[in-house]
Structure 1
Amino acid sequence: MSATAPARPFRTVLRLHRTALIVWGAFVAGLIGRLVWLDEITVDAVRAAEAECSRGPWGCVDVLEALDFSQPLEQVGFLVHHGFLAVAAFAGGALIGRELESGTARLAWTQGVTPARWLAAKLLVPALVLTAGGTALVLVFRRVWAANRDLVVLADGWASADVFVARGPATVAYALCALAVGTLTALLLRRALPALAVSVTAVWLLGAVLERHRARLWPAEALPAHEEFALPDSAWRLEAVGTGHPTAYHPASHFWPLHLVETGLVLAVAVVAAVAAFAVLRRRTA
């Protein structure tokens, strides 16, 4: 009996939230399937159309053909990027808020599961699932992006907000942060619907603030105004060129420094929220 007791709250979390687990699995599988389709089917069709068009007497506009690949890829990036909002809603509402509001959590605490152990299970199980699914999405997205970079037509290129997050560990960081913030909010409000609304708003604001200030997370390069022609095509321009003023920009090589700094900031918020959640729980159950 004692050998199996430690695993009980983890199994309980999986059983109580199996619907959410299925939805998450379907979400990840669906997006990966869409990416594979784009890489294996759409790309071949686009390249075949470009080759056929280039043999014609009038040539063709490659950008129009590439949009058949680029636009769906950007849509997948949007879903990968903003999936953390759904995580915040789940954590604030169903995972923690509903159990506190209904009294289910207190019932569990009378069945040999301490509040701290209950909360640890509530956080650890979703965290593992989110990390596994998010990592898979990032790896496949990166592979499809890199293999067909010439077909990606985006105004901001690699700095496009959705693509920027979807290409690296910030995807997982935002999901874990949403889980922690949703949990903390639910413990503070103890009502499912208010916690859901506040959680989503809080993590959305965090993402919006970091996106707005993303360019400042790493020192930019600069070119004199008269050398603007030397700006690489892949560069992320930060300032419009003015007479006599340098052009500030981030080269493509700045993607990882910018991305990792943002990832670190988001994970720091996640850690603070998780620690605060345990502190609030300890104070209210003392």
Structure 2
Amino acid sequence: MSTLSVSARWTFRLHRWALVVWAVLVAAVGGLLLWTAGPLADKADRGWRQAQACSRLSRCVVDMGLFHTMYGLMTAAMVLLPILVAAWAGASLTARDLESGTALTAWTQGVSPLRWLAVRLALPAGVLTVSATLLVVLHRYAWAAPEDRTGPYTRWWEPFTFHANGPTTVAACLAALAVGALTGLLVRRTLPALGITVAASAVLLGGAHWLMPHLRTPVTEVGPFRDGYPGMYTGVEVSHGMVTRTGAHIPTPDCTATDMNACLRLFERHGGTGFYTTFHPASHYWPLQLSTTALLLVVTALLTAASFVVLRRRTG
């Protein structure tokens, strides 16, 4: 039996309980997403139709069911998946073996340090890719399940839904795995590595979300004051403000007046002619998803390469 297969079996046995917990978590979230997409979405549709039918009545009590609550919980769970991966990877993937001396024992029994790390990364990466992709597909199914999309449903551009509905979640899990591996190799202590990995992953994922709207050129729409901000709340907003007579885009002056006409006169005194909104429409969804995913995968590759460099230097 090759040393690679021995290392893979040892890695599986060492982390089998983490795999069991992850499988239970994926099964639970997946099952709840199917429930949300089925009976809960149907009840929400019936409730919304009843609300539209009785909107003219002075009293109208409608039961929308648990769709919105369950959808919100499952979306939050999807967004937290990379943080859970980071916590496990930082505490268990490399730091624990280095702290306990298990890694050194493996290296003296025919498993090279680089092969040891390769197996440590490859097996969890495969599991994460398959399971996270499955959950993303189920989440998109639950999000699209309600038939009446004019109801009070979560829009595609809302941050949690945006990421839970696409491959950025999968890439975020892989990036968190790479952060944990590198942190463990550098710190070599379980608890400090756990805390550092979670913090670093949160910063990394937050930075990726902040950069996301700037990875593709947005569109800008301009309209008269009476129409309000064009395109507002229809996509990923980058900026909005006032258009001047010279065509410049500036922040809208503050107006505390309760009369809209008074505010319009104020805007006109500042040279304003209308409002503008710079945003990403629905047609930019997949370009934004794929560019953000590519960014996270590049970071993952760099972190993985850095892990091998650190291990090589420390083991000779």
Q: TM-score, normalised by structure 1?
A: 0.90
Q: Does 1:212 align with 2:210?
A: yes
1:92–1:195 Cα contact (<8 Å) kept: yes
- The CA deviation at 1:152 is 5.5
- The CA deviation at 1:251 is 0.5
What SS is found at the alignment partner of 1:98?
helix
For structure 1, list consecutive stretches of 5 or more residues without a partner in the other structure. Answer: none
**Counterpart among 97, 107, 110 of residue 109 in structure 1:** 107
1:270 matched residue in structure 2: 300
Following the alignment from structure 1 to structure 2, what is the Cα–Cα distance between the partners of residues 102 and 223?
60
Following the alignment from structure 2 to structure 1, what is the Cα–Cα distance between the partners of residues 198 and 70?
26
Q: Does 1:239 align with 2:239?
A: yes
Following the alignment from structure 2 to structure 1, what is the Cα–Cα distance between the partners of residues 143 and 40?
13
* CA shift digits 1:46-85 (9 cap, x unpaired): 22333445555728889x8658423321221121122111
Mean Cα deviation higher: 176-185 or 203-212? 203-212
1:75 matched residue in structure 2: 73
- The CA deviation at 1:112 is 1.2
1:123 matched residue in structure 2: 121
1:261 matched residue in structure 2: 291
What SS is found at the alignment partner of 2:217?
coil
* CA shift digits 1:86-106 (9 cap, x unpaired): 111111111211110010100
Q: Does 1:176 align with 2:174?
A: yes
What SS is found at the alignment partner of 1:242?
strand
What SS is found at the alignment partner of 1:218?
coil
- The CA deviation at 1:27 is 1.1
1:28–1:137 Cα contact (<8 Å) kept: yes
Following the alignment from structure 2 to structure 1, what is the Cα–Cα distance between the partners of residues 284 and 74?
23
- The CA deviation at 1:39 is 1.3
Q: Which amino acid aligns with 2:175?
A: C
What SS is found at the alignment partner of 1:136?
helix
Mean Cα deviation higher: 9-18 or 139-148? 139-148
What SS is found at the alignment partner of 2:110?
coil
Counting matched residue pairs gives 281
What SS is found at the alignment partner of 2:278?
strand
- The CA deviation at 1:143 is 1.6
1:225 matched residue in structure 2: 223
Q: Does 1:58 align with 2:57?
A: yes
- The CA deviation at 1:235 is 2.8
Alignment RMSD: 2.3
1:66–1:153 Cα contact (<8 Å) kept: no
* CA shift digits 1:120-168 (9 cap, x unpaired): 11000100110111010011111221232725534xx222221111111
2:193 matched residue in structure 1: 195
1:54–1:60 Cα contact (<8 Å) kept: no
1:139-178 pair list within 5 angstroms: 139-148=137-146, 150=149, 151=151, 153-154=153-154, 157-178=155-176
* CA shift digits 1:213-235 (9 cap, x unpaired): 32212111011232757537633
1:8 matched residue in structure 2: 6
Mark the structure with the bigger radius of gyration.
Answer: 2
Q: Among all aligned residue pairs of Structure 1 and Structure 2, give the percentage whose two residues are the same amino acid.
A: 38
Q: Which amino acid aligns with 1:231?
A: G
The structure-2 alpha-carbon separation of the partners of 1:65 and 1:224, relative to structure 1 and needing over 3 Å to count, comes to: farther
The structure-2 alpha-carbon separation of the partners of 1:230 and 1:212, relative to structure 1 and needing over 3 Å to count, comes to: closer
Specify which structure has the higher proportion of helix.
1
Q: Does 1:46 align with 2:44?
A: yes
Following the alignment from structure 2 to structure 1, what is the Cα–Cα distance between the partners of residues 234 and 305?
40
Specify which structure has the higher proportion of strand.
2
Moved over 6 A (4+): 59-62
What SS is found at the alignment partner of 1:126?
helix
Following the alignment from structure 1 to structure 2, what is the Cα–Cα distance between the partners of residues 60 and 43?
24
1:214–1:262 Cα contact (<8 Å) kept: yes
Q: TM-score, normalised by structure 2?
A: 0.82
2:179–2:303 Cα contact (<8 Å) kept: yes
Q: Which amino acid aligns with 1:111?
A: Q
2:262 matched residue in structure 1: none
